[in-house]
Amino acid sequence: MLGPNPIDELVVPDGTTVQEHDVVVDGDVLVGGQSTVELGVRGHSVIAGERVSVAGDIEADGDCRLDMWCDVDGNVLASEDAYLGERVHITGRLVVGGDLDIGDDVDIEEGFEASGWIVIRNPMPTITFFVVYLSHLLQIGEEEEAEELVEQFATDGDAQPLTIPRSGSVSDDAWRVSTPATIGDDCRLHGNIRATSIDVGEDNNIFGSLRAQDDVSVGSGTKIHGDVTTRNGDVRVEPGAVVLGDVSGQDVHVHPDADVDGVIRARGEMHLGSRADRDPE
């Protein structure tokens, strides 16, 4: 369960929105290494692996941790502490409400300020520190403490984090990952979703299409402004969902109270439900 990569899925938590080219979440934001985010990021704490590119401001109500070779085209604002690895580049200004731990050859074009201590050195990358410490706990048999560490790293308070897996790409045009994708409830997103499988929750508004290699599910009350397709998997569209495009897959299940404004194609079985499906009792 504690694999080498703790960020192995695109997870969009409940209530996530894209506002004026910013991704806004209530909880933390975890971005895997070598990912590209062509938007600004606003969340509680923001943690990015090595060589992550962010094309906008980063605003963190908690900590901000950027590993080596990260590039931010904008300002970085952290209400608490900030940790920057070596060769981080920020085109704007860095403002830190707490302590600042900064590595070698960091370039902040418009300067920085910190209310607490400023330590200039080469801090261990956040992900590296996490893996090293976790391995140590497992080696000495502290499985329970290791589980608590994973839970603390993945969540801060009650809000689930936004996680973008390694080498993912997020923009107004598309959210592209080579892993599964899970989208929570009450989200408003711009861009096509591309993943190995896609599970969309309830009452979302997605201005783009869904395309996966494996299964795709669209929850009740969700509106998809585009096609819903899969290469090898099944498609399920729940009651009250609206798809403003075509639906295609191996087996296709569309609830009678769902609305598909396009062609439905099934290479295997097609199940459009019956009126009895409305009330199983």
CB 37 within 8 A of CB 170: yes
Of 155 and 250, the structure prediction assigns the larger pLDDT to 250
Q: What is the pTM of this model?
A: 0.83
Average pLDDT value for residue range 4-14? 79
pLDDT band at residue 46, thresholds of 50, 70 and 90? Answer: very high
pLDDT tens digit sequence for 169-221: 999 999 999 999 999 999 999 999 999 999 999 999 999 999 999 999 999 99
Segment (H or E) for 265: strand 264-266
Q: What residue ranges do the domains of the chain occupy?
A: 28-159, 180-278
Provide the total of helices (H) and of strands (E) in the chain, helices listed first. Answer: 2, 38
For residue 118, the model assigns a pLDDT of: 84
Q: Is 27 left (phi over 0), alpha (psi -120 to 50) or beta?
A: beta
Give me the residues paired with residue 252 across strands: 235, 270
Burial group, residue 110, by CB count within 10 angstroms (0-12, 13-18, 19+): exposed
Beta-bridge partners for 170: 37, 175
CA separation for the pair 216, 234 (Å, rounded): 6
